[in-house]
Structure 1
């Protein structure tokens, strides 16, 4: 079988460089007295225990490379050309690629076994170095991909797709940005390593430790399939369950019980991953997350959209109405609505959530209904308006000037 002397069959370029070869010989020289030469594919000595020979041409090595022989022995009694010394020359072969030649000077009968041992050691060194560089290359590519997804808006889509393809990421897979906030003193890199070690991630998850100590995971989702096949589960419930299951697995893998998770919306377009990430960031800045229970943007979408709407648009729509909300309601409107909706408008349960007497809550609800002229429990429009006004008041710090005086 003919050997490949040009490059790796796998497409990865294996190298035998002078610096690595020289370092190997310096280390080996501490234990051996024989001269050893390492030659490149052209037969040029790139490393030697005899420094004067580095950079010179080694005819026997070149002959070995051209002939494709497995070994070349030069005995002391041979008629040797000038500059040629007795010894054993062997090809350096890694993954079917001949990268060069190693030669050990001396009587072939004496140094033959040593030459084989040196050959094996050098080939192992090259293999390990190639593996190390492959890991570093993947990390570099992954860092670039994350930068493209999060920050580089002007990068061509073709460049992002090409880079994702090299890393094995399918662009058609549905993913959501999960921002994981760790307690103080917990390392993001260590936590990520534990999660990967226990196979919590799959090959389509894109994860990275962020400079602020958080973890960002573009988590592969199967909620769409769940909605198609699980009937009673549905898209939203399937999404919630997937994220919750993932976080529980992360907690088990890392041992971090108070791990906080903020989840952006699902995406299937790399250009929209940035938006999902920003949604998760917004959630982290606005909503507290109980350990083990993820906070989803889909459960806070009205607040998020309101926060993204230009201030002048909000003021035009809500300033006058919000300015007329009674002062005693402004301070409590958001919390009151949240408790009522969470309890299904059960006054007793909602009052318990707020830590107030049920009569106090009933009076508050009656005051709001009087202000609107309708009952929130039977008017979806009134409930939607109340919720929007509450969020608007929060955005404005609870202070809204009367629009008639402001204009």
Structure 2
């Protein structure tokens, strides 16, 4: 349907901010917020809270939960015993009462603050700009804040809650409780992960878990007492082959082994080895089966070599439920009214939308900017998406505030044909 006069005015106001949006993004990208970099994250959080409080939001910091020590990877830059970062929760009641819409973003990036990739660089043609976290997700957070500001400037008295955590890139173990608590008191969740490069909206995600395998052996001199030794590395290798056999892509079972460590010299039988792994699964039944299979890798008794297993399945799968289907159609209709295309897609990637939806909140989570090369030193944003995705968010928030029941309740309308395509 055509935009209303109020929606057109709102979109014009967003468009007038084009230069300011790019300038703000450059300033935010220049703040180092790699996971665990407390000073940069605190600075960035403070800037955002100031803008949200200026809109009438009331902020509180929810203390972070401890993160399991065994999750620490070899050579990780973030100290596992560092104080867990707090999660900021900013809420504003509107003319219709307490907020029903939850916006979610993460302050941390994967980029090392000591690296050379530190600033936003606009391409000569002006079409793209690269910088650490430009797309994932400083661009998304920025357009959400700007959308709220434009709505306020247009006189719309909306209620909203904005949750900003600082450990999403390492699993949200420290902020999961705060996310779940927020999910229980809202009706719809909008997370600001970057859209796929073609603007696709991700409507279902796999779930994920982490595990660690520790192999224990008996040290011995290779030349003199090899037979007395028990190699932890051999034991770990045999266990890894069992893990590989669990993979079944057709059944939605993915297991990957990442860092491996073991042994110190070539002429000593190693008495310890360890491997860290990641699991992806399509649904709750597959999650349950994989949990049992991974934990069953552990050995019993005192015989060497032995295997210990730690595992935690922290982000359940995010299925395309009927409420999410209705919300996705509502978002797509809004995008099309703005002249934007928005195909649906599925992905094996995970985010905080998994946690919010598992807690009962219908959530869509690729409402940020368009970009690509995420988690790389050439991560980029499409500059034009600062405006058009901000217009989408602002219009969507306005429509949701006026017709949330329409977005979430069953309507007499056919389901979109076919299944969404898969995306990486």
TM-score, scaled to structure 2: 0.21
TM-score, scaled to structure 1: 0.22
Structure with the larger strand share: 2
RCO comparison, higher one (Cα < 8 Å, 6+) = 2
Structure with the larger helix share: 1
